[in-house]
Structure 1
Amino acid sequence: MNILLINHYAGSPEHGMEFRPYYIAREINNTGNKCFIVAADHSHLRKITTLSGYDNIDGVDYLWLKTKKYEGNGSGRVLNIFSFLYQLYKKANEIIKWSKPDIVIASSTYPLDNYLAHYIAKKCNAKVIYEVHDLWPLSPMEIGGLSKWHPFIMLLQMAENYGLKNCHQLISMLPNTLPHMIEHGLDNSKFNYIPNGIDLSNCIIEELSEMHTLTMEKLKAKNQSIVGYAGGHAESNCLDLLIDAATLLPNVQFVLLGDGIEKARLINSVSTKGLKNVTFLPPVSKNVVQSFLSYCDILTLVWHDLPLYKFGVSPNKIFDYMLAKKPIVQALTSENDPVTLANAGITIETGNPKLLSEAYERILQLSDFERNRLGDNGYNYVINNHSYSYLSNKFIEVCKK
């Protein structure tokens, strides 16, 4: 069985996010099937953007389509999206000849690629699977504050409705999306839940750079507890709440590892507040993240208080945290919460820095044994439920439907 995975933002451990397409494709290839990936050559999520044409990464065949470069989430990103879709249309016959697909998967976060997935599938008599990462256009409406009458949002809504009504099967990374999808045209018999995952086949942990190591060792020498965050610095990551909680805990060190369009503003905010217990570090490659997490006593992530999250969450950083065997503090208002399911730490309702600071204190007041038990709970949960070898088998089962 040949599978063509269309994912605008697909990356690899070498190139940066998104990682899921690479790991799913690699595992599918190990089963005797073949997965091909079509992605854009430029994405705000990747650390390497010098890509072009056909490529092979660890046995996974890629085609990088030439697209408009951009920064941020404005009109440049929209132009990048449409340049990708245009190249996909223009090279449809070439892509079919290259991949000979039995299954075409539309998986680009935004739903507009559904039109091209069906166009390609009809030309080669293939079936279409719609893989949903986030609910677009609901996500840009609630996180970005766009009106449902905004022309781009209306276009996205038409594409979501088309994808839900016409797909042969649907894969959702979020567990509670079925009612929303039925409302927009999905036959509930087509719904399949396959969350994000982790790679266990090659768990190489690389050392931090000298600069990162010196910083973490210096913080450790203060004999203060360290709360660590590893991930994007964007509006959706709600890091202002984390900084507000840090103001209430001057004797706890907070370290934020990563990059994003909000990072400069956040650094300025910390400086303006005169905080001495918040440190920002540059991003590192995926294989180095675990080395950073090992220095931390608590790992954390925070979310906005949005109705969107009632559909559930499945962020990769939660699974990285669980692999590190550290207790997790999360600020999230949702019916689906992996931290609580795993009994791996504390989840509080989001939006309240005092509650968040109290949650950190509760973890720090636990004995070493109790904190280690929370870490072990998270580790066992992620190993048993989120390995990509396990998830890829579920993926193949959906394709066979």
Structure 2
Amino acid sequence: MRLSIVTGLTLLVAASPAFAAASMPDQSRARELAQDAVIVDTHIDAPSELLSHWDDLGLAAPGKEFDYPRARQGGLDVAFMSIYTSPEADAEGKAWQIANTQIDAVEAMAGRHPDKFALLRSPRDLDSLRANGRVTLVFGMENGAPIGEDLSKIAAFHARGVRYITLAHSANNRISDSSYAPKKQWGGLSPFGEKVVAEMNRVGIMVDVSHLSDDAVRDVLRVTDVPVIASHSGMRHFTPGFERNISDELARAVAAEGGVVQLVFGTGFISPKAAADLQAYFAAEVDFDKANAAAAAAGKPERSKDDFEKEWKDAHPVPVIHIDLVLDQIDYAVKLIGIDHVGIGSDFDGVSGNLPVELRSVADYPNLVAGLQARGYSDADIRKILGGNLLRVWSTVEAAAKH
């Protein structure tokens, strides 16, 4: 997820070390399991962060939430690097260029540190590539805009290592309606979008239904021949009316087709107040754009977008949350759709630090493991949540590919 309004948002109150120390169980067993299990995080926004402010992520990068030292500290094995392009980039015809530039940046980072990173193209290669402490990197494309109107670009992105595509982001596009769009364009997938899903099935790219409208998710499930994922979504049960999060009905439908819901950590998706504010922001942004368009047509000065966002941020401070909200999401999802259909997609580096106190970076997966252990999950079930379920879906999609 990349949203301009998230940038610069501050926490409502300072994090409480006393709370974290009191609420988290002993972590020795959790750290051991985190290091031994295969941890797959399906949404880390490092690539766009690299382009906005370059850091060598093979070394400690305190200004980021993903870097190699903390990834190893947390036990991360498979990091899906989000190749994000905005609706604005799509409108300006820049999405293809930006996507390929981000892929180049990650490839360069891995090339500089072959002892620390490896590019993962298939789950079959995971064990060999993560040997000797390497973190494997996979590409997940957030927004199908770089495809343009050319289906052949899907195979081109597969060749570059893209293994899932989020069909839309915060606006309707050529492929699909967005959950954030107040007015839908297609009533689900577009006719071209149905061809995109079929082509993704053919070449072996997972279809990601995060960010899509409910009708678009239904269309995806009607068209696809293989399981799909929600790469970074919350459960709408906790944020009523927030279409960006997945409904009980659609979560069940994803699971019924063998798919997996990867649960997100970001405050804006799991705090009811923050989710309501985020939804309201998009409505306010539409009104802002309309007002500016009217001003421009009348020859009057337009209002600054930066001023609009600052005023919004000041009026809507982001609440501090703790890991229990993430654990509640997992509990609910497991009871609703089963232990075999739940995973994690943090949104690290995509929400400007608006995260649970105990889940601030890729170093903190052991805190999640400790919380699950404290709630009675077996180690075998925790391994499924941490990565086993996602790897199963990926293997299924790869095996069904006809490229």
Looking at both structures, which has the greater relative contact order when contacts are Cα pairs under 8 Å and sequence separation is at least 6? 2
- TM-score (norm: length of structure 1): 0.37
The structure where strand makes up a greater share of residues is 1
- TM-score (norm: length of structure 2): 0.37
The structure where helix makes up a greater share of residues is 2
In our comparison, the structure showing a higher alpha carbon Rg is 1
